[in-house]
Structure 1
């Protein structure tokens, strides 16, 4: 009988439980998140096992934690954010939503290894939760950039290095140090030669671990792997009479190659008689013109100039890198000058390398002769890598036998230069902070227009003729509508046009980059727009929530991924949301480039067992594609983006062959009949979802394309 009578303490505890829970729910209703969280914590702490609490209560708490995480992230309160997430995970260690949010945040603050642990756990708990799967994939991409795949798949590069190593070791140089070993391909090549000993040095922890696994998988025992920067080693750890390295970027110097080689010869080699692969390099530069490339860095579109009275302006990219990587073989490039050998470096010559490195900036003057008239937009740079006296590889875009793992470096000019045949350009070429630096010395600097700097996104937006024309047409629809306008695009073209032509509309623009503010202020002045009619604010939270509002939201990131387009689905009846709807368009394709960049084939690395290790980092998506060579294997098919869930569409194969990817772009219905496609956009990039194994198709085969979407996360596959 007494065993059925509740103890007084237990009754009091239950009462307190309910009081905490009630207070937490009331605080949630009042949007007092801190108070709600405090009472939820007290409630769960009072339970013997929080996991036994009502699932609906757990759901409310999860949403609260994620909401608080967003607020704390916006205010950069990392300490409180981590405390909130970790305390919540102490109650519910398998809550995949909180695990994912914490992992995504750790990725944003560059705590990559910690991020991966949380995201891997979130994905293990729920393999159907798409945000965790995609966030984990993004972390792996950061740990293993795609150029690793492209490098390992470059058979020409691999065969040249193999021939060089075999040639040199045959002469008795068999104590090998491989600097920047990566996953260990060059070490494997060296280790398979009889009587060699190999020290592989790799500073990247992920690649170091991978190198260990690769050696184990290939049953190699004569390779010692070290995790460090080679330049941090003060004494030689092993005998060394052969240095092997491949620490070069598209402009040769960018990965501190000269510093690495100088230190290796000075510290790591142990014998006076030694060899180094590569033995030297030659770097070349030439002047080029290319309309496609310059549009990414300088405003050129006449339509934009006419609409906003920008005829006497020069707008170029803010904070431009010293050079960018481009595949010039896929561009309509015209080479206007001769090619000049800017550097000829002998890697055995410590005096020469030391001379380049001793000054903060090493410079030399070269002269380029113009072979034809035209407008020089940029300088192209490539190199020859002399592995031995007899073996050379190059990334020269004009050489059909070039290697493909390196593209070319392009140094853009803020102000293109008009030249005549025979004109001689004076160029300063140097090494600054261990990287290439190029500067044109102009004889007569331009002074005939106003110069501004803007973010790259603003420039590519204004240089997209179809996008500009479409939004100009959209402005015609709203010109006589007396609404408040919120234009949330990177460049608020609709907002500027309505403020310029409308009678009473007030425009608000949440600015994306503060570097664009001076240019935007100039636009207000030159178009005689009063600043009270066009208000630049810091974020969406600073825009008015008025009833009569046109809300223009950019639903797609420049890299081709989806933004939170659901924000446009505001329930206020008097709001006009732009775009009105968004379709994603997909097409079955075949592209060799997708395979090369995302999946290693052991056949390209002499049959060594590397693919299983590195392909873990492949994923299923290749975003940010500006240009892609491919064959079409189906007609396009549209999916309406209407919220979370899954959908499928049937397509018919257009030809026989192997389909290895699904190409994706967007169709945006801004308003009524105003529609824009990103397929040929110069602003928005495209995305590919690639298949683990190519799908063999016959003509007229039916194929089912499946879409899965959760918030802004998408995944496409075929059945």
Structure 2
């Protein structure tokens, strides 16, 4: 549960078999296959291949590894790679392939090591670089950089630790040490004995390197263990007098601080200081932070609303069935284990801002130096709080933050009004019949501490004694799958009446934002109608609902009329968008269409079927494509038919702001499956970017020297895990100064690959003096020449990304920079020439 819950970046992109085959010269494949056919199923025989050419060896190794993988002979597979690396220890391709196997099997730390080695061996090896960047996002989450660059946070912790150590504290344990900075603070303050523990192997090794580089390697003992596994005297000779930790997330308890401190008080810390007794600090135990106070506030925020509530019951002419209720998983009772009861936002940078509807209210306090209070949190009954409404508006969320009281003198606040490394916990409000509030109303929330989380279980409006409880979520349920989650959400009720919800459809917040992106759906409807009319120009388009008006016939009447016209073959449309998509149903509104959807989840299929019925579609209009497939590699082929596709819809851009994996390979396959006049959507994509000066992007991407870390040498070690591209940005609120106008950087043509180039140089004119620190980029997605979408629009469900330069470039008005733009697989890299 990270402090800044960045959306998880996709996994490695270099795992495809096609990518490996490209590494083997075509002329060697026949020899490789022949050798493979003669290889006995015994480990080690294939080592004779070391006498052959290196490319043949690589190809045969990869084919043999695939064979072992398919037979689940995992140990043999890794033995093969280990022996191969003994023969070719400096082969970056073999290192990268080994990392890909490890990553797919969940060994991220080990995979990162091989990717990193491959990059060191060949800094220009694009596959390995991309793999390492993606794994780096998993291993060292981006909030580490922001936190280490927060000078105020670091200095406040240092002073609090110094106070305790200078007063006589003898020994210190740092729980969840990360880079080891708090342990270094304790040693600098003069603590004779300092111990630390870290569960992540990557962070453990990084911390060891950091303390060694600061000449404290022999003075700080670091364990690669959870604090719950530390024992006395096995690991630490005796109980310590101080525990320091910052294992807190945006919702305070999400990183397990309560459990770890209960264990520490019972097994690792000296007893707490007795009341009214004056004894030396070395004789009793204490914790930094000493306590925390949690605050909450109800807010109106359009950005939160559009990610958690569907705003319209009609999208591009498609009526959303009243019987289908859409929910985001955040905060829902019985959510899957990976779902959290809150999301996080940096409210000071939310697009469109937010409006406080109530004054901040104290939700709870917790004393980390009180063992009994910590134990009581897990069994504490839910409690209700009433927040008087001070400003009328729309209730969208309850926002939570806290103040960490490190000691009597020093505190840190995560309030949205504070400029710090912290985000705020956001509890979206869902399932109210009316979200409007007026001054004088009361928002009542029910709060609980369960499963190491601070939860807001119920939200109701009106005076407490007569308020209707609109969001009754029973958190005692222990539901393990989506079907049970749907049943639980379907059972939500308002006080005094049973409300039959019908089908509940749980969507990710990005999927709900897509449903709310009306221009996106309107654009697709118009472009699909244009293609279908061009494919059948003799047909009266009034029978098609191309523009939402048609001839006045409803869909059922249009279908009946169409069936009288000698029952022509339908147009086949395939949507392979990721996640929940209405596009196949929108396509079905265009007349004689057979639409195939790639939606996989059963509850999503049920919801789409109900929406189809609500729009009077014949049952055969919509079909779920992946249910026919045993092999995902044939996803673009037609089932049991020699018909070709009229339209294939591809997902080209991730919501993170990056290009989807293998999209150009999918486009190449798609072009072979279109009949004459058929189209891929989008037909081409233009990448736009501009020069900016942004200190925020620098602070979020790498530790900026030793000054923010108070002179300690940490930056070179953590910065090994920096990545050149920042994702999930919103340019409308990114603190930056534009130093140039937007420029077209690259064209990706899915219909005409001859127009593509893997690299190009673009001249950009500087329109304002300053320091170029980054190049944000976004996309214009052209369905055709007339219909396009921009991923930077306000209504967009996409975010933007930015390349952050290693070193800022000083520029003056009128200067010209040359950007070298490269597109490799799904990765865009941008370098600057002056």
Q: Which residue of the other structure, out of 153, 156, 175, is the alignment partner of 1:160?
A: 156
* TM-fit CA distance, 1:534: 1.0
TM-aligned CA distance change 1:290 to 1:647, over 3 Å: same
* TM-fit CA distance, 1:257: 0.9
Q: Which residue of the other structure, out of 355, 361, 374, is the alignment partner of 1:340?
A: 361
* TM-fit CA distance, 1:589: 1.3
* TM-fit CA distance, 1:333: 1.1
8 Å contact kept, 2:595–2:621: yes
Q: Which residue of the other structure, out of 271, 287, 293, is the alignment partner of 2:304?
A: 293
* TM-fit CA distance, 1:311: 6.6
Q: Which deviates more, 285-294 or 125-134? A: 125-134
TM-aligned CA distance change 1:80 to 1:43, over 3 Å: closer
Q: Which residue of the other structure, out of 635, 638, 642, is the alignment partner of 2:741?
A: 635
Matching of residue 129 in structure 1 with residue 115 in structure 2: no
TM-aligned CA distance change 1:178 to 1:522, over 3 Å: same
Q: Distance in 1 between matches of 2:93 and 2:219?
A: 46
Q: Distance in 2 between matches of 1:429 and 1:109?
A: 39
Where do 1:219-298 residues align within 5 Å? Answer: 219-220=215-216, 221-235=218-232, 237=236, 238=238, 240-270=240-270, 272-298=283-309
* TM-fit CA distance, 1:55: 7.0
Q: Which residue of the other structure, out of 672, 687, 691, is the alignment partner of 2:785?
A: 672
8 Å contact kept, 1:479–1:498: no
The aligned counterpart of 2:449 is 431
Where do 1:316-465 residues align within 5 Å? Answer: 316-318=327-329, 319=335, 321-331=340-350, 332-357=353-378, 359=379, 362-398=381-417, 402=418, 404-416=420-432, 417-442=435-460, 443-445=468-470, 447=499, 452-456=504-508, 457-465=510-518
* TM-fit CA distance, 1:618: 0.5
Q: Distance in 1 between matches of 2:164 and 2:395?
A: 43
The alignment's TM-score, normalised by the length of structure 2, stands at 0.75
TM-aligned CA distance change 1:631 to 1:698, over 3 Å: same
Q: Distance in 2 between matches of 1:654 and 1:690?
A: 19
Query: What are the Cα deviations for residues 171-226 of structure 1, in whole angstroms up to 9, with x where unaligned?
Result: 22242222222111111122112454322222222222222211111112432222
8 Å contact kept, 2:532–2:571: no
SS at structure 1 position matched to 2:707? helix
* TM-fit CA distance, 1:63: 8.2
Matching of residue 614 in structure 1 with residue 633 in structure 2: no
8 Å contact kept, 2:214–2:713: yes
8 Å contact kept, 1:430–1:436: yes
Where do 1:584-595 residues align within 5 Å? Answer: 584-595=687-698
Q: Which residue of the other structure, out of 478, 496, 502, is the alignment partner of 2:531?
A: 478
* TM-fit CA distance, 1:148: 0.8
Q: Which residue of the other structure, out of 810, 814, 823, is the alignment partner of 1:709?
A: 823
Q: Distance in 1 between matches of 2:324 and 2:637?
A: 31
Q: Which residue of the other structure, out of 500, 504, 507, is the alignment partner of 2:589?
A: 500
TM-aligned CA distance change 1:493 to 1:194, over 3 Å: closer
* TM-fit CA distance, 1:44: 13
Q: Distance in 2 between matches of 1:122 and 1:291?
A: 45
The aligned counterpart of 1:38 is 37
SS at structure 1 position matched to 2:315? helix
Query: What are the Cα deviations for residues 285-305 of structure 1, in whole angstroms up to 9, with x where unaligned?
Result: 121111111111221146627
* TM-fit CA distance, 1:265: 2.5
Q: Distance in 2 between matches of 1:151 and 1:672?
A: 46
TM-aligned CA distance change 1:62 to 1:204, over 3 Å: closer
- Give structure 1 stretches of 5+ with no counterpart: 1-20, 29-34
Where do 1:676-695 residues align within 5 Å? Answer: 676-680=789-793, 682-695=796-809
Instruction: Give the paired residue count.
Output: 681
- Give structure 2 stretches of 5+ with no counterpart: 1-25, 271-281, 330-334, 461-467, 471-493, 536-569, 627-631
* TM-fit CA distance, 1:272: 4.6
* TM-fit CA distance, 1:535: 0.6
Matching of residue 645 in structure 1 with residue 733 in structure 2: no
Query: What are the Cα deviations for residues 247-301 of structure 1, in whole angstroms up to 9, with x where unaligned?
Result: 1111111111112222222322236534322111101112111111111122114
Q: Distance in 1 between matches of 2:615 and 2:309?
A: 21
8 Å contact kept, 1:262–1:354: yes
Q: Distance in 1 between matches of 2:242 and 2:198?
A: 17
The aligned counterpart of 2:644 is 547
* TM-fit CA distance, 1:22: 12
Q: Distance in 1 between matches of 2:153 and 2:787?
A: 49
